[in-house]
Structure 1
Amino acid sequence: MFAMNVTDDDALEKRTLAHTLGWILAVPVVYLLTVAPLHQAVYRWGPGVPNWLMAYETPYWWVVHNTPLGLLLRPYGEWWASVFGLPIVT
């Protein structure tokens, strides 16, 4: 009565795989999209970048300077700088 048949197990496995792959893709995308506004917001509070922010954004700067994604992330960061009315730093 409570036993799942093979097709239910397969469907559950496919949903679990899709859910896992969704998270694997979403987490880096969300990270890359949060660094620029966070950096600009913290920079607006005062000069200098706190150590925690430097640690958080180090992988971001590596991606910007060493991968083709930098071609997209640089203008995105510049846009955030203009939103906060700050000088553009790349």
Structure 2
Amino acid sequence: MGIGLVHSKQKLSARIGNVSATANVPKGHVAVYVGEGDRKRFVIPISFLNRPLFQDLLARAEEEFGFNHPMGGLTIPCSEEYFIRITTILNGSN
């Protein structure tokens, strides 16, 4: 077994440790954590990820966290109020 494969398995094992946090996410959805202090978990449709309005939030997350998200899942660095406004707009435009 090559070193690259062992390293990949270690990364996968680390990610599997976080699966319990997202175990109750319905198919076609993803859990995200939102907030600037205490973070709240939201479950959103995967379709939001391709929307330009939501991609702005993803760009913020990338700038702030890179691939190291402190909650073990995708963390969006904005207020809950702003996130709710964005998701309300995206829900209304479907």
TM over 0.5: no
Higher helix share: 1
Larger radius of gyration, structure 1 or 2? 1
TM-score, normalized by length of structure 1? 0.30
